[in-house]
Amino acid sequence: MAISVCVMVGDTAEWIPEMVEKAKSLSVGAGTDNKDIAPMNNKGGMEKAYNIIKASESDGSKILLDGRNHKVNGYPNGNWLGPTVIDHAKPGMACYDNEIFAPVMVITRVDTLDEAINLINSNQYGNGVAIFTRSGGTARKF
């Protein structure tokens, strides 16, 4: 399961710089050489991802890590997109409203668990969701 929108609740947003650093360390390659990220499977999908990232330059979200124009030695014509992180996404923005199917993490921020649950439940895609918490009560409520 690829969950591409990360909902940061309250002070969990403090983890974002560390997440970006970890994303920077991911390796990109041909898929036959045990890399973390393989090429996009077609030009159309790559162009869609590029267009959504481009829209993020002006819609109020913020690109924290931009994987566009990634190059892999020996494969000059590959469909490459390196790890990308977009922060401050909101419903109504292309990066939030579309399933990107690419190595792109979209981050949205809310103040409370109830806001997170409402945000998740109002999304048209219900493919999968996960919670990371140390609180049993929070997990049960979720």
Q: What is the per-residue pLDDT for 2? A: 64
Give residues with Cβ within 8 angstroms of 30, minimum separation 6.
Answer: 38, 39, 72, 74, 75, 78
CB contact at 8 A, 50 and 66: no
Residue 1: per-residue pLDDT: 57
Model confidence band, residue 85 (pLDDT cutoffs 50, 70, 90): very high
Q: What is the CATH number assigned to the segment(s) 5-141?
A: 3.40.309.10
For 57-79, write each residue's pLDDT tens digit: 999 999 999 999 999 999 999 99
Query: What are the residue ranges spanned by the domains of the chain?
Result: 5-141
Render pLDDT for 94-109 as a digit per residue (tens, 0 to 9). 999 998 999 999 999 9
Q: How many CA atoms lie within 13 A of 69 on its CB side?
A: 3
In angstroms, the CA 24 to CA 105 distance is 12
